[in-house]
Structure 1
Amino acid sequence: MTTGVGTDRLDAVVIGGGPAGLFAAWRLATGGARVALVEAGGGMRDSLCPRVTARMRGQQVRPAEKFRLQCNRCDCLTGLGGAAFHFDTNLGYIRGLSRSKIENDGAGGYRAYSGLERALGDFDRAADAVADVYRLMYGFGLPPTAPESPESPALPVSDARTSGAPAPVAGFALADEALSQAITVDDAIGMVDALTAEAREHGLRLLLGRRVEDVTRGPEGDWHVRVAGSPEPPLRAANVVVAVGKLGLAWVRDVLRRNGVAHRPSRRVDVGIRLETGREEAAPLTASCHNPKFTFLNELGEPVRTFCVCEGGRIMQYAFDDTTVLDGQHCLTTPTDRTNFGIVTTVDVPEDTDGTEHALDFARRVTKLGGGLPVVQPLLELLGGARLSERPAHSLIHSADDDLASALGPRRVADIAGMVERLEAVAPGLAGPRTVVAAPVVEKLYPSIELSSELESSAPGLYFAGDCSSKIIGVTYGAATGLVAADAILAPRGSR
């Protein structure tokens, strides 16, 4: 049961009920703060995909029907738990934080880094924050992962505390197989239920099905949070934690402009494709790790990397801005016979270019080619081979079959070719006739917001956590930033 908006002054309002918002609201409430959490969607059970709820009721979908029943575009990305927990997913590292990304160091080499480390300003602090997230998740009912099998082959893991990387594997500058943990929707529901129940016992005001229209500072210095469609006055609070996901991009950009928050256009964005092949062909990549990360630098010094490996999963699509983009879906409970993963390039956009628009233009080019749909093409054709007479199966039903090279451009095609060539040494047969590429994929779209190591913006009392912070993406990283922002609000300002 939700409560009304009301007019009492709060210590904080949290906007968005994904991992960042949930953990921020819990920490604030259990820390004694008067806090409200506003979520545009409903409760987690109310906003789950109908296919998921059918499976939870025991109405299993026959394997032959699994893909035919897909929605054209997913609209289950709002609701308590956020997009992350609405599907089986992968939480990230549990053995310890790793510097799993690399960048050109400007001197002919590269450096490894962690996005969370950079966001919080210190590696140990970031590692402790991730450990805190897992400790809490286990306390809320997340089943601990099974121990690693000693028989599982393993590739080198990057040294967490150095800027270097292990010896290259098959031509990669970085090969990282740090142990991660998966979670099913069933377990996520129990965990979110336990977290919200405890927070509400400590006074959390949970406002579901309420979309925040505006966030502005009032003349008295408090923040005013206006909820769309509410006849009551705006919520008043000393602090606001903005924790909306990717779909909140346009709204966040407006909030930044209206409040004069220091930010600049993003100079780096991730653009690319998802590669899908048979589960057997991809098995060597996932034999010892749910989500291996492989990276190399292309001729321009841009990192090209794999991400979000979905073993036995499928590709999903959703509406974003005025286009359609793709993501990977883990299917842990009802696995498929396919595996997919992203191949993206971190592009340094020109000085006079807005990175957000650069990425969106990339997505628009692809979907324009597909007549409004994502485009799928056999990998061998994209890499210059003759058209295959037999079209390989894939998990996207509502898609177009066309020549992606014209929309991706020669540089991105070269990056895909370079990644596939290197992966072939790890998983021979990956570049076979059953393998397809699907586009567009875009990540890290938010403007670069000037934030302190506590995630506070240049507007005192206004914090940004999770995806919209522009610093990180991911479930555990998002939850960690929510805890950091909450701790900063709970601490006396003079002690920060």
Structure 2
Amino acid sequence: MSDTNATPVRTDAVVIGGGPAGLFAALTLVRAGRRVALLEAGGDMRESLCSRLVARMDGRSVRDAEKFRLQCPRCTCLTGLGGAAFHFDTNLGYISSLTRSKIESAPDGTVRSYSGLERALGSFDRAQELISEAYRILYELGLPPAEPDEADHEDSFGSMFQHVDTALSQSVTVDDSLVVIARLKAELEENGGRVLLYHRAEDVEPLTGGGFEVRAATPDGPAVFHADDVVVGVGKLGLPWVRELIGRIGVRHRPSSRVDLGVRLETRREDLDHLLNGCHNPKLSFLNEEGHSVRTFCVCGGGRVMQYGFLDAVALDGQHCLNQPTSKSNMGVLTTVDLPEGTDGTEHAAAFAARVAAYGKGLPVVSTVDELAGRPVPEGPLTTSLINYHHGDLRECLPASLVRDVLAMVDRLNALHPGMVPGTSTVAAPVVERLFPDLDLSDDLESSIPGLYFVGDSSSKIIGITYGAATGMAAARSVLRRRAGLATTAGGGH
């Protein structure tokens, strides 16, 4: 611990991270009368948005702000209240019922489907209830209710994929997110919660006799908090801090044995329209030769590919552009890799990203589908939405198995609709997910240190806005039960 002399602030709970998981944890606690300090490393949502978005929302031409951010080598709008996902038009997931959207090879050789949230929370019914509650609260806070697309779903998917999930989902724009996050923040503060912006957590230390000391760096100097419980809800960029923390204070964990590695596949918007008929975010999966799941992920109709700095490399994601759609669409193609015993999944994924970045001289690498397949490449510029990239041969920096998986996905999509993914479509790498160490958590997301919870991305169990919100609520409910039980015990109850 640092030797600051800051006077500790006493509170019931500290929530670290102002993304969906942290916000919903804090809201659940505050609504139950608990005192909460929410620490967010970034600023308020609006002030941390890309200036191009702010210009549009203020009625100015987006062009007025292009000179500031359009040519950013990498996106820096990934911190701030609301979390990275809410800083862009995005997709929230299921609006009617939770589904088991992923597949894996079962020990008996069959293919089984599962939900990551179901596994994180111990039961499908519980996961379903928490997702429903998350939507109820989002609507209560001003999210416009979804209007499901009544178009017919593509009925031929099953002929080419071992699992198809076309459950209805809800899109949300930044404009709507601003309303939701502002109302959530206001409710926290009106009911005794403290939303502390530009407070970057540096240490969490269990105290003798129970409770925790949390230290944070702020613009005004160090801040110290004493709390009964701590909920950690940092996003992907908080990975290095979480790894250091759990190793230092002895949170029980093991190296991740399963990671998601992949690419963003991008083509013309009209080419991909067949895939999006009746479903914003179809999830199509098959098992490869090794029995690993290969699936579509985060389909962005009319969107663009974005990059951000990750560890010592770079990573890609899909950006939805609902207010100002582009002429392109993109999707992730991910392979879930089961790693050999003794392999650290976090290190494996970091090495994967670093290898691509090294080949790209610090930039993501883009090839055409034809190049990836070893076919002749037409002359002319690539049609990618990425602005800063290295045009190279992805076969030289991606594992051969991943190249094979991407091409197999392209073949399946083209078998459904010839020309859906032309050879001139682009493939960009790297994409990395499921990177956190495998924490030993209860079904309430409580770690081996009582009172210390890990939710959202940092739980190592799930990613996504509504999934994150569900884990935040699960952890907060656990805190409330534990504290009620301790109060009863202290009062002599049975």
TM bracket (short chain): over 0.9
CA distance in 1, matches of 2:339, 2:301: 32
Other structure's SS at 2:397 match: helix
SS of equivalent residue, structure 1 residue 325: strand
Instruction: Please state how far the C-alpha of 1:92 moved relative to its aligned partner.
Output: 0.5
Q: Which residue of 2 aligns with 1:154?
A: 153
Q: Which residue does 1:367 correspond to in 2?
A: 357
Cα offset, 1:16, TM superposition: 0.2
- Name the counterpart of 1:454: 444
How much does 1:251 deviate?
0.2
Q: 1:343 aligns with which of 313, 333, 336?
A: 333
Q: Report deviation, 1:373.
A: 0.3
Report the equivalent of 2:377.
387
Preserved contact between residue 14 and residue 25 of structure 1 (Cα < 8 Å)? yes
Change (3 A) 1:382 1:328: same
C-alpha distance in 2, partners of 1:471/1:407?
A: 28
Deviates more, 1:382-391 or 1:188-197: 382-391
Q: Is the 8 A contact 1:7 1:232 kept in 2?
A: no
Contact 1:281–1:427 (Cα < 8 Å) also in 2: no
Percent sequence identity over matched residues? 56
Q: What is the one-letter code of the residue matched to 1:79?
A: G
Which residue among 206, 217, 230 is the counterpart of 1:240? Answer: 230
Task: Assess if the C-alpha contact under 8 Å between 2:157 and 2:416 holds in 1.
Answer: no
Letter in 2 for 1:441: V
Q: Is the 8 A contact 2:51 2:68 kept in 1?
A: no
Residue 350 of structure 1 deviates from its aligned partner by: 1.3
Q: 2:75 aligns to what?
A: 74
Let me know the Cα RMSD of the aligned residues. 1.9
Query: Partner of 2:424 in structure 1?
Result: 434
Contact 2:154 2:275 in 1 (8 A): no
Amino acid at match of 2:22: G
Q: Corresponding residue for 1:464?
A: 454
Distance apart, 1:148 and its partner CA: 2.7
Question: Is the CA contact 1:171–1:422 (under 8 Å) kept in the aligned structure 2?
Answer: yes
1:282 to 250, 272, 289: 272
- Indicate which of 186, 190, 199 corresponds to 1:201: 190
Helix, strand or coil for the counterpart of 2:274? Answer: helix
**Preserved CA contact (<8 Å) 1:214 1:225:** yes
Q: Report the Cα distance in structure 2 between the residues aligned to 1:240 and 1:472, rounded to whole angstroms.
A: 19
TM-fit CA distance, 1:218: 1.9
The correspondence for 2:208, drawn from 210, 219, 225, is 219
Unaligned runs of 5+ in 1: 157-166
1:431–1:219 distance in 2 versus 1, CA, 3 Å: same
Corresponding residue for residue 159 of structure 2: 170
Q: Deviation digits for residues 318-354 of structure 1, max 9, x if unmatched? A: 0011000000000001110000000010001111210
- Tell me by how many angstroms 1:74 deviates: 0.7
- 1:67–1:397 Cα contact (<8 Å) kept: no
Deviation at 1:232, TM superposition (A): 5.8
The residue that corresponds to 1:179 in the other structure is 168
Change over 3 Å in CA distance of 1:231–1:59 after alignment to 2: closer
Task: Give the SS at the match of 1:221.
Answer: coil
TM-aligned CA deviation for residue 67 of structure 1: 13
Q: Does structure 2 retain, via aligned residues, the 8 Å contact 1:170–1:425? A: no
In 1: Cα distance, 2:378 partner to 2:290 partner: 32
Q: Following the alignment from structure 2 to structure 1, what is the Cα–Cα distance between the partners of residues 71 and 282? A: 27
- Equivalent in the alignment of 2:120: 119
Give the 3-state SS of the residue equivalent to 1:234 in structure 2: strand
Quick one: structure 1 residues 324 and 98, their matched pair in 2 at CA, closer, same or farther if it must change by over 3 Å? same
Taking the aligned partners of 1:30 and 1:291, their CA distance within structure 2 comes to 33
SS, match of residue 77 in structure 1: coil
2: CA distance, partners of 1:458 / 1:209: 29
1:318 & 1:492 partners in 2: Cα distance?
39
Aligned letter for 1:28?
Answer: L
Contact 2:272 2:421 survives alignment (8 Å): no
1:253 aligned to 243, 247, 259, which one? 243
Corresponding residue for 1:7? 8
- Residue 371 of structure 1: CA displacement? 0.6
The letter for the 1-side match of 2:173 is T
CA distance in 2, matches of 1:286, 1:343: 16
2:471 counterpart SS class:
helix
Structure-to-structure mapping, 1:12-27, within 5 angstroms: 12-27=13-28
- Could you tell me which residue of structure 1 aligns to residue 412 of structure 2? 422
Q: Is the 8 A contact 1:74 1:317 kept in 2?
A: yes
Q: Is the 8 A contact 1:67 1:396 kept in 2?
A: no
Contact 2:9/2:224, CA 8 A, preserved across alignment: no
Is residue 188–residue 195 contact of structure 2 (8 Å, CA) maintained in 1?
Answer: no
Structure 2 counterpart of 1:106: 107
Map Cα deviations across residues 129-186 of structure 1 (whole Å, 9 max, x no partner): 000000000000000111332xx12146xxxxxxxxxx97232110110000000001
User: Could you tell me whether the CA contact under 8 Å between 2:53 and 2:62 is conserved in 1?
Assistant: no
Q: CA deviation at 1:291?
A: 0.4
1:380-410 Cα shifts (integer Å, max 9, x gaps): 1111201221233110110000000111121
- TM-score between both structures, scaled by the size of structure 1: 0.93
What's the counterpart of residue 163 of structure 1?
Answer: none
Aligned mates of 1:84, 1:6 — CA distance in 2: 35
Residue-pair matches, total: 479
| Amino acid paired to 1:457 | S
For residues 157 and 277 of structure 2, the distance between their equivalents in structure 1, rounded to whole angstroms, comes to 19
Matched with 1:160 is none
Change (3 A) 1:68 1:383: farther
Paired residue type of 2:28 = R
Q: TM-score normalised to the size of structure 2?
A: 0.94
Q: Post-superposition shift, 1:199?
A: 1.3
**Counterpart position of 2:84:** 83
Query: 2:343 corresponds to which residue?
Result: 353
Give the 3-state SS of the residue equivalent to 1:79 in structure 2: coil
Q: Specify whether residues 311 and 294 from structure 1 end up closer, same or farther in structure 2 by C-alpha distance, changes over 3 A only.
A: same
CA positional deviation for 1:220: 3.5
Aligned to 1:92: 93
CA distance in 2, matches of 1:108, 1:47: 48
- Kept in 1: contact 2:154–2:277 (CA 8 A): no
SS of 1:284 mapped into structure 2: coil
Preserved contact between residue 148 and residue 168 of structure 2 (Cα < 8 Å): no
Q: Distance in 2 between matches of 1:360 and 1:492?
A: 37
